[in-house]
């Protein structure tokens, strides 16, 4: 059921209740009128129109019209509706009373989605953030998750990459796993979805609730440990009986930041110095050096990129049915040539009260998205490649052919390709088609008891296509086609009993649910094409079937029972108790089922007379919760002994051989988190100032880890549940109206602090991160007593007589080796925050959204060219040119080592690469104006707006962007390489102008 | 309306009953192979055994060969292999890691054999093909024995893992090092089963898999190593007299291509070789890469061989190597003639050390695991020399038969007919047991140079390492630390049956 309908239904319920207790009703006259809303001047349906001091009244129809019998002219009409500030009007001698209701942006009794049901916000006992989706819709969002950034306390959102359409990393209250996914569970209109959010149009969303503490998430059991994001899409019911909305914007993106590189003469000068330092003759004469041209390679691969978006919806309602049809087309070109993202989506949300007992609703979406992919991170093809380029080399030669660095200037010993050639020539794209939706039926046996059956589906087909044509220097023509099919089905059966017995409020939910997921994939390719004409579309043309064809697939299922009781006494004491039993196919045969209980208590102190007597608080609520949740978001079949294939050779004949992949573990189970939460909500001045403070502690045990085995078993490790991690933190959120009236100023702010600590690892032994690019080596470690993925490396001590970097011999054993590495930082931000300022005046709205993190570090591996001493000819940066070590001692305080033709043996990752990645960013600023168009009958509203994303970023970070980190995803290998900027696609600044019409 | 309510109640009740039952949560991997599927039939079980051979010649194992060849007195090493030829101190970290990885590969192969042996019962076979099950078990035991034979000689006493590991039982977690005698007893018992129940021979597509005769040949070697002379002689003789193998005749050194060339599928004296090909990427050997650069097409521009191995000319038997021995020219070289210009280039490393070229593949598509040369494990010449040595050792001196077997190997190497008396024959009299054994060992050194581990193991079993190394490396004093390779610390840390004291001396 959608939110607005709920509001309407609730109003109806209240109304009915009031009529029921009415004692008398005297008809003396009839007053009619229309109730409209201040924000869009549309009629408001379902407004209660009550005669004060009586129990009689009326309710407005779908157009906001009402008619009510009043006892006399002294009667006072009370107009109230959820979402609006109530008003009282003395009837006097009027027979027509039209009224404009002020929307109430801080309504306490909003209905919020809590998972398998809804609750009044005032009745909540757990930690839940209800998001304002308006702000996120101001931004240019390729994915919905990006819009969560800075919007809710405790929710840390970071981008792995600024590439359009790349998935976003969302972590709620800290990472609490080593090898399972740390992503929250996303639930759209009741259906827990299996895949990313990139096909979902942000404009389809009406509300987002984020469940953070265990008492809220325990109802999702073995999938609840990372938090739950509940997304509700727009329904057709509302203030307007029917309408058409159209909005569009157009804009342009550009790089936020360029790294200053050495120019042609400077590069040539350094090449000469490199040769001289190595005992060779210089390559260029001074005159040649001075006359070198300069090509700005970063700008050669970057572009100003257009973005456009079109949203169209038609919606409406009749007595029984509401509908909303939404269409969207979005197209964003990337700031790196060759990259981009586009999306089209079509949605139908339908809700029908077939009878007063039977309701059918459906939310269905078909989405198509396409991503054009360029290398993201790494030193070939992307921005790092461009940085490294010989600055005096043009991108194309006189004949228009791509230049090849190693041929253009072989003396440089450069082994990088021409980045432009790959970006312009390689066709690498991925298209996803998705059907996501549900059909649900609800039957009310009696007014208080209902059974809801929901069937949900999330099917996605992804086609990855790659072709590297023969026109790309060095390519023989290589094609790769990768098709993936993901199916996900669920069925929920929810029995709900709600009873309001005066002082006692009871809401009991029982659930049986199953989900089934299946993936399959097929990959084929070839190389050696005599023509580029058909590319990946006809791999039969390839000379070699290399890479070889592969196929794979998985299945998983979960069966669950859940029960939840919400009980309220006198609106003061609120108790929630829930328990979920989950059985998962992924677990070992000895551990298939698990129980996830929770309990929460809230005390609405503001309803106690002694608080009311203080006259200070308009709301004061203390919340306390405890619960157990699980994380089973890891690959299927890990508990089984599985075999893989390899190729063996006997005689001259290759044949398939089968080898054991891993040992079985019949005891394998979910990771378990036990969390406690202490929350305080308080509001002043009729909730004009509202605040929430939370403290939480989440300890996750039974971490899934690769535990080393004695290799004579034939296996080097086994997956076991060993280890624990704790996340503790504070959150603070404020929603205040500083100025009200004609000119309004509202501030919405949140700030979060999280401390992550690894408490226990298998055998107490460290887990080392994978080696980073080039000679950086391992720079991450997972060690007991430290945050996950802490930075572990050498400290530099200066330069030796040859200008090579020297390192601190921590243990003073005379050699520099891993034993000298120290923990010198960690990737998790200590603090992250978001502040939204909103100003409005006579149709003008200005919003400013600032967002930032503090106390985070990043390994800036993009600067690794600067320790290479140009031995392979990479341009090491202008800063390097200005501050390098000089053989003649002319630079007494060098910031970089010597130039040299061979790799210095001790070049390594070190503290120089660990940079403060704190930043504050003007994420979005938007100015809009609602045109005064009341006289145009066919137009409901018109708005024009201008907006800018990522306009200003204040940071000490010297790479492209402090937020971007290539390895931040869910896999164990990426978790051991947290917080590493290895040349990821940077974020961009985007400016847009747009217009919205309502018909 | 009644129908509505019926429909949704039916759905929810049906759903609750159907999907909460056990089957819904049972993982039946339809894309992943599990033992239940694989061992249902003989083909699956055979494919599982084939992977045990893959571990025997995987990248880690090949590095162990290179190290162990480099340990021999007649081979010196350079680059990252240099510490292998320094017998005065423990290996450096790079080569220690190679040793660790080798250990893991040996046991990986053993684990794969154990899986086949323990699950062979599951193979469904008609009565008439029951012998296939026995043969498969026999073959698996051969592979297991092969791995233990190398383990015990490289690492000394080692844990004996004879059952498939399926869960972490006490027995699995606690596997102490067993004495060398116990390991040899297991090797013998496995090989005895293999030589009785193994397949007689394989078709062309299976050459390189263990058979009855391969097991016999290896058993001869195992007996010889333990000084069981009579047994060694008898079983070597059985192989020699089987008439299954004949020495390949050579007239010029280039004729050795019939044995070592990249396109040889099987040659007449081959008992067991590890098979490689240059036609499938990743299924080749990188052995030529460790030799000189001209083992590929072009010395000057043909890429960069690592020259990891060099010929140790300080070694007495290398210094005394007769130029008329065709093996010398096939195996080593000091000068290279550019076919385009006719220019002769001294390619000795540092102008001193000749290079190896025994394994060469001019057609290899790349420098990686892409060369087609097979790696010989047992050849008929091995049986002849085992027979000669064992017979003389057993009888207190050589008889004419033993001398003839030794002559056969030498005659072939000099281009003479193997069955006919030749000018380079060894003397027919005047031998003591010791002088004859010394002659056999030198013949073995020439015959098996760079054939995995042969020379190093010969020095070990004859307790002549110290004297041979010190003679071949003037200035080095042999340190016993070089006798065994180090055991991976993961083994010691995670095996309850081992403590730090179990590490080999010096590590």
Percent of residues, chain A, with pLDDT higher than 90: 30
Check B107 against A713: CB less than 8 A apart.
yes
User: A82 lies in a domain?
Assistant: yes
B55 three-state secondary structure: helix
pLDDT for the residue A105: 56
Using CB atoms within 10 A of its CB, is residue A770 exposed (0-12), middle (13-18) or buried (19+)? middle
Check A712 against B276: CB less than 8 A apart.
no
Least confident of A172-181, A523-532, B417-426: A172-181
Query: In terms of Cα–Cα distance, which of B107, B357, B270 is closest to A650?
Result: B270
Cβ–Cβ under 8 Å, residues A717 and B501? no
3-state DSSP: chain B helix, strand, coil percent, rounded to 5? Answer: 55, 5, 40
Largest CA distance in chain A: 110
Check A714 against B110: CB less than 8 A apart.
yes
Chain A contacts in chain B segment 454-483 (CB below 8 A): none
- Candidate from A491, A584, A652 with C-beta closest to B25: A584
User: A163 lies in a domain?
Assistant: no
Closest chain A residue by Cα to residue B276 = A649
Q: Which residue has the higher pLDDT, A411 or A657?
A: A657
User: A587 lies in a domain?
Assistant: no
Spell out, as residue ranges, where chain B has pLDDT lower than 50. 296-304
Chain A contacts in chain B segment 108-147 (CB below 8 A): 108, 110-112, 114-115
Closest chain A C-alpha to B143 CA, distance in angstroms: 14
Q: How far is the C-alpha of A137 from the C-alpha of A155, rounded, in Å?
A: 18
Q: How far is the C-alpha of A612 from the C-alpha of A610, rounded, in Å?
A: 6
Tokens 């019911």 correspond to what residue? A237
B-chain CB neighbours of A713 within 8 Å are 107, 111, 161, 165, 172
- List, in sequence order, every residue forming a beta bridge with A862; answer none if it has no partner: none
Closest chain B C-alpha to A515 CA, distance in angstroms: 9
Dump strand ranges (E) for B110-180: 158-159, 177-178
Domain of A18? 3-101
Alpha-carbon distances, residue B423 vs B95, B410, B415, B427, B454 (angstroms): 45, 11, 11, 10, 28
A642 touches chain B (CB under 8 A): yes
User: A29 lies in a domain?
Assistant: yes
Tokens 């003073």 correspond to what residue? A812
- Candidate from A561, A658, A713 with C-beta closest to B172: A713
At residue A197's C-alpha, the angle toward residues A194 and A202, to 5°, is 140
B-chain CB neighbours of A544 within 8 Å are none
Q: Which residue has the higher pLDDT, A974 or A51?
A: A51
Closest chain A residue by Cα to residue B204 = A651
> How is the beta sheet containing A29-37 ordered, strand by strand?
A65-70, A29-37, A99-101
Q: What is the dihedral of CA B436, B441, B445, B446, to 10 degrees?
A: 20
Closest chain B C-alpha to A556 CA, distance in angstroms: 7
Alpha-carbon distances, residue A44 vs A36, A98, A246, A265 (angstroms): 5, 12, 21, 70
Check B283 against A654: CB less than 8 A apart.
yes
Q: Do the bridges between strand A831-841 and strand A844-854 make them parallel or antiparallel, or are there none, so unpaired?
A: antiparallel
A32 touches chain B (CB under 8 A): no
Highest mean pLDDT pick, A134-143, A151-160, B27-36, B140-149: B140-149
A-chain CB neighbours of B1 within 8 Å are 355, 357-358
B362 touches chain A (CB under 8 A): no
Residue A571's CB is within 10 A of a number of other CB atoms, namely 14
User: Sorting pLDDT into bands at 50, 70 and 90, what band is A766?
Assistant: confident
Closest chain B C-alpha to A707 CA, distance in angstroms: 10
Cβ–Cβ under 8 Å, residues B177 and B125? no
- Candidate from B47, B161, B280 with C-beta closest to A654: B280
Chain A contacts in chain B segment 70-109 (CB below 8 A): 103-104, 107-108
Query: In terms of Cα–Cα distance, which of A286, A249, A45, A449 is closest to A946?
Result: A249
Check A714 against B1: CB less than 8 A apart.
no
Check B51 against A664: CB less than 8 A apart.
no
Q: How far is the C-alpha of A145 from the C-alpha of A199, rounded, in Å?
A: 11
User: A846 lies in a domain?
Assistant: no
Chain B contacts in chain A segment 428-457 (CB below 8 A): 441, 443, 445, 451, 453, 455
Tokens 């323990």 correspond to what residue? B118
Alpha-carbon distances, residue A561 vs A579, A668, A671, A813, A915 (angstroms): 8, 21, 19, 60, 48
B-chain CB neighbours of A659 within 8 Å are 48, 51, 54, 112
A248 touches chain B (CB under 8 A): no
Domains of chain B plus CATH, in order, are 32-178 (1.25.40.390), 276-373 (no CATH), 379-450+457-482 (1.25.40.900)
B-chain CB neighbours of A636 within 8 Å are 27, 29
pLDDT tens per residue, range A865-892: 877 788 888 898 899 999 988 888 888 8
pLDDT tens per residue, range A648-695: 999 888 899 999 988 888 888 888 999 999 999 998 887 788 899 999
Check B25 against A641: CB less than 8 A apart.
no
pLDDT for the residue B155: 96
Q: What is the dihedral of CA B329, B334, B339, B341, to 10 degrees?
A: -150
Closest chain B C-alpha to A451 CA, distance in angstroms: 8
User: Sorting pLDDT into bands at 50, 70 and 90, what band is A967?
Assistant: low
pLDDT tens per residue, range A65-90: 888 888 877 888 888 876 777 788 88
Check B30 against A553: CB less than 8 A apart.
yes
3-state DSSP: chain A helix, strand, coil percent, rounded to 5? Answer: 15, 50, 40
Tokens 């599928």 correspond to what residue? B265
B284 touches chain A (CB under 8 A): no
A426: tokens are: 């390689």
Chain A contacts in chain B segment 7-26 (CB below 8 A): 7-9, 11-12, 15-16, 19-20, 22, 24-26
Least confident of A607-616, A786-795, A815-824, A967-976: A967-976
| Residue A55's CATH number | 2.60.40.4130
* CA atoms lying within 13 Å on the CB side of residue B200: 3
Cβ–Cβ under 8 Å, residues A864 and A773? yes
3-class SS letters over A892-955: CCCCECCCCCCCCCCCCCEHHHEEECCEEEEEEEEEEEECCCCCCCCCCEEEEEEEEEEEEEEE
* CA atoms lying within 13 Å on the CB side of residue A619: 21
ω into residue A547 within 30 of 0, thus cis? yes
- Candidate from B54, B175, B283 with C-beta closest to A712: B175
A-chain CB neighbours of B3 within 8 Å are none
Domain total of chain A? 1
Dump strand ranges (E) for A286-424: 305-317, 321-333, 340-353, 358-372
> How is the beta sheet containing A980-981 ordered, strand by strand?
A914-916, A857-860, A980-981
Tokens 């036990």 correspond to what residue? A674
pLDDT for the residue B293: 58
Using CB atoms within 10 A of its CB, is residue A65 exposed (0-12), middle (13-18) or buried (19+)? middle
Cβ–Cβ under 8 Å, residues A673 and A630? yes
User: A63 lies in a domain?
Assistant: yes
Residue A814's CB is within 10 A of a number of other CB atoms, namely 6
pLDDT tens per residue, range A539-583: 888 888 777 788 888 888 888 999 999 898 988 899 999 999 988
Q: What is the dihedral of CA B498, B499, B502, B506, to 10 degrees?
A: 150
Cβ–Cβ under 8 Å, residues A559 and B22? no
Cβ–Cβ under 8 Å, residues B177 and B157? yes
Closest chain A C-alpha to B421 CA, distance in angstroms: 35
User: A317 lies in a domain?
Assistant: no
A764 touches chain B (CB under 8 A): no
B298 touches chain A (CB under 8 A): no
Tokens 């502690």 correspond to what residue? A697
- Candidate from A453, A583, A708 with C-beta closest to B494: A708
pLDDT for the residue B62: 83
pLDDT for the residue A1: 39
Chain A contacts in chain B segment 236-265 (CB below 8 A): 265
Q: How many CB pairs under 8 A join A and B?
A: 223
pLDDT for the residue A124: 84
Check B493 against A718: CB less than 8 A apart.
no
Return contacts of B22-25, CB within 8 angstroms, 24+ apart.
Answer: B22/A592, B24/A514, B24/A557, B24/A559, B24/A583, B24/A585, B25/A557, B25/A558, B25/A559, B25/A583, B25/A584, B25/A585, B25/A592
B27 touches chain A (CB under 8 A): yes
Span A32-51, average pLDDT: 79
Closest chain B residue by Cα to residue A357 = B1
B204 touches chain A (CB under 8 A): yes
B389: tokens are: 């040595």
- Candidate from A491, A584, A711 with C-beta closest to B107: A711
Q: How far is the C-alpha of B37 from the C-alpha of A294, rounded, in Å?
A: 64
Closest chain A residue by Cα to residue B175 = A712
pLDDT at residue A460 greater than cutoff 70: yes
Q: What is the mean pLDDT of chain A?
A: 85
- List, in sequence order, every residue forming a beta bridge with B332; answer none if it has no partner: B356
A870: tokens are: 């140009």
Query: In terms of Cα–Cα distance, which of B161, B50, B186 is closest to B110?
Result: B161
pLDDT for the residue B448: 96
pLDDT for the residue A87: 81
Closest chain A C-alpha to B95 CA, distance in angstroms: 17
B192: tokens are: 């005895």
B-chain CB neighbours of A640 within 8 Å are 27, 29, 32, 34
φ, ψ for residue A376 (rounded to 5)? -120, 105
Q: Which helix (H) or strand (E) holds A697?
A: strand A689-701
Dump strand ranges (E) for A651-688: 653-660, 671-684
User: A97 lies in a domain?
Assistant: yes
3-class SS letters over A814-876: CCCCHHHCEEEECCCCCEEEEEEEEEEECCEEEEEEEEEEECCEEEEHHHHHHHCCCCCCCCC
A-chain CB neighbours of B44 within 8 Å are 658
Q: Which residue has the higher pLDDT, A699 or A591?
A: A699
Least confident of A306-320, A454-468, B412-426: A306-320
Residue of A495, A713, A718, A721 to mutate when probing chain B, most B C-beta within 10 A: A713
User: Sorting pLDDT into bands at 50, 70 and 90, what band is A613?
Assistant: confident
A821: tokens are: 């590495």
pTM: 0.80
Tokens 């593949």 correspond to what residue? B361
């Amino acid at each position: 059921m959608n939110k607005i309908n709920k509001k309407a239904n609730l109003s109806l319920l209240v109304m009915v209740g009031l009529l029921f207790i009415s004692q008398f009703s005297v008809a003396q006259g009839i007053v009619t009128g229309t109730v409209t809303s201040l924000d869009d001047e549309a009629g408001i349906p379902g407004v209660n129109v009550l005669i004060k001091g009586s129990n009689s009244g009326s309710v407005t129809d779908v157009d906001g019209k009402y008619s009510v019998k009043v006892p006399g002219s002294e009667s006072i009409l009370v107009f109230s509706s959820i979402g609006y500030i109530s008003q009282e009007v003395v009837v006097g001698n009027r027979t027509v009373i039209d009224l404009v209701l002020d929307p109430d942006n801080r309504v306490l009794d909003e209905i919020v989605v809590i998972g398998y049901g809804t609750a009044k916000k005032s009745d909540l006992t757990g930690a839940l953030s209800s998001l304002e989706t308006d702000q996120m819709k101001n931004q240019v969002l390729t994915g919905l998750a990006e819009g969560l950034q800075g919007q809710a306390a405790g929710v840390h959102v970071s981008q792995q990459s600024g590439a359009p359409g790349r998935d976003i990393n969302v972590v709620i209250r800290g990472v609490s796993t080593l090898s399972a996914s740390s992503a929250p569970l996303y639930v759209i209109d009741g259906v827990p979805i299996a895949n990313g959010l990139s096909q979902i149009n942000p404009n389809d969303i009406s509300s987002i609730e984020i469940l953070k503490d265990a008492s809220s998430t325990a109802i999702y059991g073995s999938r609840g440990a990372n938090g739950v994001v509940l997304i509700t899409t727009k329904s057709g019911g509302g203030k307007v009986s029917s309408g058409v909305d159209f909005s569009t914007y157009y804009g342009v993106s550009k790089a936020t930041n360029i790294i200053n590189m050495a120019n042609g003469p400077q590069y040539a000068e350094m090449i000469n110095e490199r040769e001289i330092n190595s005992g060779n003759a210089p390559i260029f004469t001074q005159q040649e050096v001075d006359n070198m041209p300069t090509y700005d390679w970063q700008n050669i691969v970057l572009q100003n990129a257009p973005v456009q978006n079109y949203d169209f919806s038609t919606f409406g309602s009749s007595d029984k049915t509401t509908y909303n049809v939404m269409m969207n087309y979005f197209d964003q070109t990337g700031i790196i040539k060759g990259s981009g993202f586009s999306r089209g989506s079509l949605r139908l949300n339908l809700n029908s009260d077939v009878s007063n007992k039977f309701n059918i609703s459906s939310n269905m979406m078909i989405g198509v998205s396409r991503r054009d992919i360029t290398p993201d991170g790494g030193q070939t093809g992307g921005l790092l490649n461009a940085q490294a380029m010989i600055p005096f080399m043009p991108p194309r030669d006189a004949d228009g052919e791509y230049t090849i660095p190693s041929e253009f200037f072989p003396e440089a010993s450069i082994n990088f390709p021409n980045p432009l050639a790959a970006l312009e020539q390689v066709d690498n794209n991925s298209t996803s088609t998705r059907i996501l939706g549900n059909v649900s039926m609800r039957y009310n046996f009696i007014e208080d008891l209902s059974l809801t059956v929901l069937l949900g589906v999330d099917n996605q087909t992804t086609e990855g296509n790659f072709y590297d044509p023969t026109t790309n220097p060095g390519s023989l023509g290589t094609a790769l086609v990768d098709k993936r099919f993901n199916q996900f089905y669920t069925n929920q059966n929810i029995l709900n009993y709600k009873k309001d017995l005066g002082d006692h409020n009871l809401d009991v939910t029982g659930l049986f649910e199953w989900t089934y997921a299946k993936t399959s994939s097929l990959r084929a390719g070839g190389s050696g094409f005599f023509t580029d004409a058909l590319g990946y579309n006809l791999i039969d043309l390839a000379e070699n079937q290399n890479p070889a064809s592969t196929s794979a697939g998985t299945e998983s299922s979960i069966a669950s029972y859940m029960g939840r009781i919400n009980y309220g006494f006198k609106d003061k004491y609120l108790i929630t108790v829930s328990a979920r039993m989950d059985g998962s196919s992924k677990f070992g045969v000895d551990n298939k089922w698990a129980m996830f209980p929770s309990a929460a208590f809230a005390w609405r102190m503001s309803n106690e007379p002694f608080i009311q007597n203080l006259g200070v608080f308009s709301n004061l609520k203390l919340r306390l919760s405890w619960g157990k949740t699980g994380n089973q978001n890891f690959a299927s079949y890990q508990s089984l002994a599985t075999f893989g294939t390899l190729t063996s050779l006997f005689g001259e004949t290759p044949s398939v051989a089968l080898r054991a992949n891993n040992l079985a573990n019949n005891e394998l189970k979910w990771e378990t988190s036990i969390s406690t939460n202490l929350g305080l909500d308080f509001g002043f001045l009729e909730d004009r100032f509202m605040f929430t403070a939370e403290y939480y502690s989440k300890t996750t045990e039974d971490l899934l880890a690769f535990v080393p085995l004695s290799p004579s078993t034939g296996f080097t490790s086994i997956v076991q549940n060993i280890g624990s991690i704790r996340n503790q933190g504070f959150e603070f959120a404020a929603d205040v109206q500083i100025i009200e009236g004609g000119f309004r100023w509202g501030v919405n702010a949140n700030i979060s602090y999280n401390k992550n600590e690894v408490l226990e690892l298998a055998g107490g032994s460290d887990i080392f991160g994978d080696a980073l690019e080039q000679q950086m080596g391992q720079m991450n470690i997972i060690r007991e007593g430290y945050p996950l993925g802490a930075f572990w490396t050498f400290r530099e001590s200066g330069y030796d007589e040859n200008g090579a970097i020297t390192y601190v011999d921590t243990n003073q054993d005379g050699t520099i080796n891993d034993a000298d590495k120290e923990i010198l930082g960690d990737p998790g931000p200590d603090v992250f925050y978001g502040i939204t300022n909103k100003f409005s005046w006579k149709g003008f709205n200005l919003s400013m959204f600032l967002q930032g993190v503090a106390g985070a570090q990043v390994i800036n591996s993009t600067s690794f060219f600067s320790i290479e001493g140009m031995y392979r000819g990479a341009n090491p940066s202008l800063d390097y040119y200005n501050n390098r070590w000089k053989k003649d001692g002319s630079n007494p305080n060098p910031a970089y080592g010597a130039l040299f033709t061979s790799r210095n043996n001790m070049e390594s990752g070190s503290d120089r690469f660990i940079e403060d990645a704190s930043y504050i960013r003007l994420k979005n600023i938007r100015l809009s104006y609602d045109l005064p168009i009341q006289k145009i009958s066919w137009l409901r509203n018109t708005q024009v707006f201008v907006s800018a994303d990522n306009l200003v970023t204040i940071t000490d970070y010297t790479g492209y962007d402090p937020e971007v980190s290539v390895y931040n995803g869910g896999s164990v290998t990426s978790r051991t390489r947290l917080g590493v900027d290895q040349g990821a696609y940077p974020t961009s600044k985007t400016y847009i102008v747009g217009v919205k019409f309502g018909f | 309306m009644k129908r509505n309510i019926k429909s949704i109640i039916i759905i929810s009740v049906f759903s609750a009953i159907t999907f909460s039952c056990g089957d819904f949560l049972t993982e039946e991997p339809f894309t992943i192979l599990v033992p239940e599927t694989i061992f249902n039939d003989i083909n699956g079980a055979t494919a599982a055994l084939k992977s045990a051979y893959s571990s025997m010649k995987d990248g880690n194992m090949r590095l162990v060969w290179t190290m162990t060849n480099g340990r021999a007195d007649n081979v010196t090493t350079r680059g990252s292999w240099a510490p292998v030829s320094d017998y005065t101190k423990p290996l450096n970290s790079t080569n220690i890691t190679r040793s660790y990885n080798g250990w893991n590969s040996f046991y990986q192969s053993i684990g794969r054999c154990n899986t086949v042996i323990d699950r062979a019962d599951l193979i469904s076979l008609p009565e008439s093909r029951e012998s296939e099950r026995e043969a498969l078990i026999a073959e698996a035991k051969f592979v297991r024995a092969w791995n233990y034979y190398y383990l015990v000689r490289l690492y000394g006493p080692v844990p004996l893992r004879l059952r498939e590991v399926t869960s972490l039982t006490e027995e699995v977690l606690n596997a102490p090092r067993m004495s060398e005698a116990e390991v040899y007893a297991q090797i013998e018992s496995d090989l005895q089963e293999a030589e009785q129940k193994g397949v007689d021979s394989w078709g062309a597509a299976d050459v390189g898999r263990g058979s009855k005769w391969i097991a016999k040949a290896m058993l001869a070697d195992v007996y010889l190593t333990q000084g069981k002379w009579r047994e060694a002689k008898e079983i070597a003789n059985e192989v020699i007299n089987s008439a299954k193998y004949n020495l390949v005749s050579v007239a010029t050194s280039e004729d050795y291509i019939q044995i070592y060339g990249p396109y040889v599928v099987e040659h007449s004296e081959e008992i067991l070789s590890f098979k490689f090909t240059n036609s499938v990427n990743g299924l080749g050997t990188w052995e030529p890469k460790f030799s000189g650069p001209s083992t590929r097409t072009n010395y000057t521009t043909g890429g960069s061989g690592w020259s990891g191995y060099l010929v140790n000319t300080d070694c007495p038997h290398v210094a005394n190597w007769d130029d008329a021995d065709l093996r010398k020219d096939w195996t080593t070289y000091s000068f290279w003639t550019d076919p385009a210009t006719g220019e002769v280039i001294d390619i000795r490393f540092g102008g001193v050390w000749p290079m190896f070229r025994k394994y060469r593949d001019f057609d290899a598509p790349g420098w990686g695991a892409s060369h087609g040369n097979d790696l010989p494990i047992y050849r008929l010449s091995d049986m002849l020399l085992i027979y000669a040595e064992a017979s003389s050792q057993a009888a207190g001196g050589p008889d004419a038969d033993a001398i003839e077997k030794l002559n056969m190997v030498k005659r072939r190497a000099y281009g003479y007919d193997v069955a006919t008396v030749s000018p380079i024959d060894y003397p027919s009299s005047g031998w003591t047991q010791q002088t004859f054994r010394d002659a056999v060992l030198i013949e073995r050194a020439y015959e098996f140079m760079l054939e995995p581990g042969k020379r190093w193991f010969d020095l070990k079993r004859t307790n002549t390492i110290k004297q041979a190394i010190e003679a071949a490396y003037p200035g080095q004093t042999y340190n016993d630390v070089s006798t065994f390779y180090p055991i991976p610390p993961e083994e010691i840390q995670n095996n309850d049956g081992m403590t730090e004291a179990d590490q080999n001396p010096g590590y």
